[in-house]
Structure 1
Amino acid sequence: MSTLSTVKFPFWSKQWIGGTWKEGASSRYETVTNPFNQEILAEIKLASKEDIDQAYQFAKQVQPSWANASAYERAGVLERAAEILVQRKEEIVNYLVQETGSSQLKASIEVDTSIGDLKYAAQYSFRLSGTILPSLIPGKENRVYRKPVGVIGAITPWNWPFYLSIRVIAPAIATGNSIVLKADSQTPITGGLLIAQIFEQAGLPKGVLSVVVADVQEIGDYMVEHTIPSVISFTGSTAAGRRIGEIAGRTLRKAALELGGNNVFIVLDDANIDQAVAAATFGKFLHQGQICIATNRIIVCRSVYEEFITKFKESTMKVKVGDPADPETLIGPLINQRQAQRIMDLIQQSLREGATLELEGKLEGNLMSPFILTDVTNDMAIAKQEIFGPVAAIIPVDNEDEAIRIANDCDAGLSGAVFSGSIEHGVHVAQQVVTGMIHVNDQTVNVEPNVPFGGEKSSGIGRYCGEWGIEEFTTLQWISVQKEDRQYPI
């Protein structure tokens, strides 16, 4: 445990449970550091199973009154939270830069998308309408009501911590639920505690949102196994998602899972290569590639393969790597040394498997400059796994049929991109790629509040955002009303 004077943000040392800032009951502490310079940002006493139980109990207690609050009250909280984000944007961006290694660009995008989700989710409060349907029975009407599910348990990751937590919290509370969020212990400030403070400031009733920071080695599966939550929302790795899905299945509870991606970026022979290169550079290297929807496999038709490589290498070499606080920086630090070493191992294994090192980067601490591997095949390690780092893997193909086959020869299906000189040709190819999201003549990193976000295959179950977000956090109840005496056959 560090001395208080060495901690930059001593305020962020407590959990937000039931509307009270309190120390966690665990004997363990988490030291939160800046991944670029290792400065100690915060030190937090972690939550125990008892803290999580208390948070769920508070959530269960207050949820009925929150569900019965007027749509205007629920929407008002979300709208005020959005206003606070606008007012505090510079501060939040600064936190993201220091805690997550986000560039100024990425951090700004993250806050802006969070504002958009809050504003859009405020509309959900007015859309929990009922429907009256006809009946076969004389004198009867069928009413179908959309209702909140109750209590939601949410687990969010470290890479886009602020947005990925807002993306769950906003629709959950807009539709009348309460929620307990477990923020990643590597990014507890931007992943949850700062959000709790914002909603406290926005006037959210106590207990509707609790934020806990805990060590999975101590709490195990308790967030998911607890008997109170009706829905478990998880964003993270496919391996962890499978585990959570299994537990939810055993207990007959719904799981909303947004998991890993192995996203393709297809360059067809009629593509505008300059535009494709610009998009690939952004989609590959934004936030060091530490994004579930970042470009992972770049699939290029041979007729434009050499031109693409030459221009992509030139573009990549212009990308600034360094201090994420510098507005010119695009690539900042990886989150930790473990991730950095994993990526270096993937590179070395793929080179042994026959890939060509087109551009050799370097690793200094957590800072990795870009690598480009060419002559990659789909069975190499760098193509089979989600890289989550600034390494471009370029796969040559003979034609679009082969491009589609290779794109689909993967267990994941989250995002993708297709570049073509013809929009409809691009759409035709995009429709044949098995993925939840895909973008024609754009890169793979896209998020908007009014469209469905989610994946196919091992990239998850369910959809966030838009009207589809309402479905994840509500349930339907059929109430029939017999208005006239019914004649029974017995």
Structure 2
Amino acid sequence: MTTHRWENHLYLGKWQTSDGPQSAVIAPATGEVIAQVQTATAADVERATHIAKDAQLSWATLPFDQKAEILRRAAGLIKERADDLNYWNIRECGSIGPKSDWELQATYEQAQMAAALPMQPCGQIFPSSMPGRRNYWKRIPIGTVGVIAPWNFPILLAMRSVFPALAMGNCVILKPAPDSAVCGGALMAEVLEAAGVPEGVFHVLPGGAEVGEALVRNPDVGMISFTGSTAVGEKIGETCGRMLKKCALELGGNNALVVLEDADLEAAASSAAWGAFLHQGQICMQAGRHVVHRSVAGKYMEKLAERASHLVTGDPWKQQVHLGPLINETQARRVEDIVNSSVAMGAKVVAGGERNGNFFEATVLSNVTPEMPAFGEEIFGPVAPITLFDSDEEAIALVNASAYGLAAAIHSASTERAQSIADRLRVGMVHINDQTVNNEFQVPFGGMGRSGTSGRFGGPANLDEFTTTQWVSVMEHGIQYPF
């Protein structure tokens, strides 16, 4: 193993030593220790916030074209370092090669999109009832933004907050997930350092809950952007609410793929397999509930089960596979428990259903009812539970029965009918004749209910998400008030 500087240094605006412990980087496919990473402490969070506070003003006042150039250089470096980034995404996170390639391209697009933000209009001019007064309402940086990122798409889901936050003049402290601290943290510190981000503007602090809590509670961190589980997000939202701190929460999902009786079943099954099994189902937008009209359920189930049975599971570093490992044994056991509990309640395994260590077969379940864990819980594994309906009203009720509200998909020969159903779904994103796992860098992304706080990432939404606003009124001469 090659020794890297991130094995014994943290990136606190530059590479520095820390008193925090080192943590083993474990390949989920084999259990092998493939590196060590330096982790942070609560004291390191305090250090980072002081450094960022000192650096933020000069970064915010840097001309927009210079910020944009740095972000464009970062985009170029992501492409140049693709082999290194993909290697760690595969080894550290269990990603298959095509998923790593897609994530890298999507991150590149995020950087290019963010580079265009600093040149956008930064405010508005409002009329005044006071003669001679000019009212300016403008966006200004928040200051320091804390980004807490997940392990499933560790590069993209970190940088979709980091890049626009930097573009809008903020300093950023990133806490990657412990399971993806290299590709989701250390390697991006190297990219942004090489791109020319000034010293003190960007920080990476790997670690567990202690580091995350210190970041959320620090009064010098003006905003938290969190992507992860609903349970953790609720706690972060509670803390930010008490501190009157801005937060963007992109949380879990239990997304429904609705198949109407007039759907193209071949296309629906293809969308279903992709939406349910991509990256082992470890995606917040996973098609976790398949809500299918009773009259076509048998054919749909056969087509989906056939696709599932052809998917190869294995170590993506050693062989070409469709499904790699789940991120760790805890998650693998959880998926197994959800399947077994649902089967005990009457569900039937049509395809897959077996776990081998951290590997789980692409699985299709039939006879799933709303009382079962496979319907009610976010599975985060390669499982497609099928639930039947007889009318559009029943389908809408089943989709809206979940407290989550991230994404949904509807398959029908009538786009008008599908759009009518979409209008009644309590979800942030609906895709007609497609699958649930969609992301375009220029389109605002986000959910409702337990899937988030209606914050949005992407395109023009970033202008508001990573700034606050200020009203400035100007009078050329002072005026006399009654007293």
When normalised by structure 2's length, the TM-score is: 0.97
Pair 14,210 (structure 1): closer, same or farther in 2 beyond 3 Å: farther
The unaligned stretches of length 5 or more in structure 1 are: 1-6
Task: Supply the distance in 1 between the matched residues of 2:212 and 2:189 (Cα, whole angstroms).
Answer: 24
- Aligned residue in 1 for 2:176: 183
Could you tell me whether the CA contact under 8 Å between 2:11 and 2:189 is conserved in 1?
no
Name stretches of at least 5 consecutive residues in structure 2 with no aligned partner.
none
Cα separation, 2, equivalents of 1:296 and 1:368:
15
| 3-state SS of 1:159 partner | coil
Deviation, structure 1 residue 19: 2.6
Query: Residue 4 of structure 1 corresponds to which residue in structure 2?
Result: none
Q: Report Cα offsets for 1:190-211 as digits up to 9, x if no partner.
A: 1111111000110110111000
In the alignment, the residues of structure 2 paired with residue 489 and residue 10 of structure 1 have an alpha-carbon distance, to the nearest angstrom, of 69
Which residue number in structure 2 is paired with residue 215 of structure 1?
208
Q: Deviations over 1:251-301 (max 9, x none)?
A: 110110000000100001111000000111111111000011111001000
What letter corresponds to residue 347 of structure 1 in structure 2?
Answer: V
- Aligned position for 2:136: 143
SS for the counterpart of 1:276 is helix
Give the Cα–Cα distance (whole angstroms) in 1 for the partners of residues 49 and 11 of structure 2.
9
1:321 aligns with 2:313: yes
Q: Is the 8 A contact 1:8 1:40 kept in 2?
A: no
Q: Report how far residue 22 of structure 1 moved.
A: 2.7
C-alpha distance after superposition, 1:109-145 (max 9, x if no partner): 1111101111001111112523221100011110112
Between 225-234 and 90-99, report the one with greater CA deviation.
90-99
Match for 2:433: what amino acid?
Answer: N
Whole-angstrom distance in 1 between the partners of 2:342 and 2:333 = 14
Question: Over aligned residue pairs, what C-alpha RMSD do you find?
Answer: 1.4
Distance 1:400 1:11 in 2: 58
- Counterpart of 2:443 in structure 1 is 451
Alignment of 1:244-283 (within 5 A): 244-283=236-275
SS at match of 1:186: helix
1:487 Cα deviation after fit: 4.5
Contact 1:36–1:333 (8 Å) recurs in 2: yes
Aligned counterpart, 1:24: 18
8 Å Cα contact 1:138/1:486 also seen in 2: no
Residue 402 of structure 1 corresponds to: 394
CA gap of 1:272–1:95, structure 2 versus 1, over 3 A, is same
User: Residue type matched to 2:388 in 1?
Assistant: P
What SS does structure 1 have at the residue aligned with 2:378? coil
Q: How much does 1:39 deviate?
A: 2.4
Distance 1:41 1:326 in 2: 15
Contact 1:263 1:296 in 2 (8 A): yes
User: What percentage of residue pairs aligned between the two structures are identical?
Assistant: 39
Matched, 1:197 2:190: yes
Show CA shifts across 1:134-184 (max 9, x none): 100011110112111110011111111010111111000000000101111
Q: 1:480 aligns with which of 456, 473, 479?
A: 473
Select between 63-72 and 374-383 the one with higher mean Cα deviation: 374-383
| Distance in 2 separating the partners of 1:188 and 1:96 | 10
Instruction: Give SS of 1:434's match.
Output: coil
Letter paired with 1:329? V
Out of 161-170 and 126-135, give the one that drifted further: 126-135
Shift of 1:489: 3.3
Find out whether 1:489 has 2:482 as its counterpart: yes
Query: Which residue is equivalent to 1:132?
Result: 125
Distance (Å, rounded) in 2 between the aligned partners of 1:219 and 1:124: 30
1:65-117, CA deviations, whole angstroms, 9 ceiling, x for partnerless residues? Answer: 00000001110111001011112223211211111000111111111110111
Structure 1, 325-334 or 118-127: larger mean CA deviation: 325-334
8 Å Cα contact 1:415/1:455 also seen in 2: yes
Give the aligned length: 482
Matched position secondary structure for 2:36? strand
Give the alignment partner of residue 33 of structure 1, picking from 26, 36, 40.
26
1:114 aligns with 2:104: no
Q: Tell me how far apart the structure 2 counterparts of residues 464 and 220 of structure 1 sit (CA, whole Å).
A: 21
Structure 1 residue aligned with 2:416: 424
State whether residues 259 and 291 of structure 2, in contact with CA within 8 Å, keep that contact through their aligned partners in structure 1.
yes
The 1:186–1:24 alpha-carbon spacing in structure 2 relative to 1, beyond 3 Å, is farther
2:36 pairs with one of 40, 43, 50 = 43
Distance in 2 (alpha carbons) for counterparts of 1:468 and 1:215 = 30
Give 1:110's aligned amino acid. E
Would the aligned equivalents of 2:42 and 2:214 in 1 still touch at CA under 8 Å?
yes
Contact 1:15–1:212 (CA<8 Å) still a contact in 2?
Answer: no
CA distance in structure 2 between the partners assigned to 1:134 and 1:336 by the alignment = 58
Task: Say yes or no: does 1:91 pair with 2:84.
Answer: yes
In the alignment, what sits opposite 2:429? 437
How far the C-alpha of 1:328 sits from its partner, in A, is: 3.8
User: How far 1:485 sits from its partner (Å)?
Assistant: 4.5
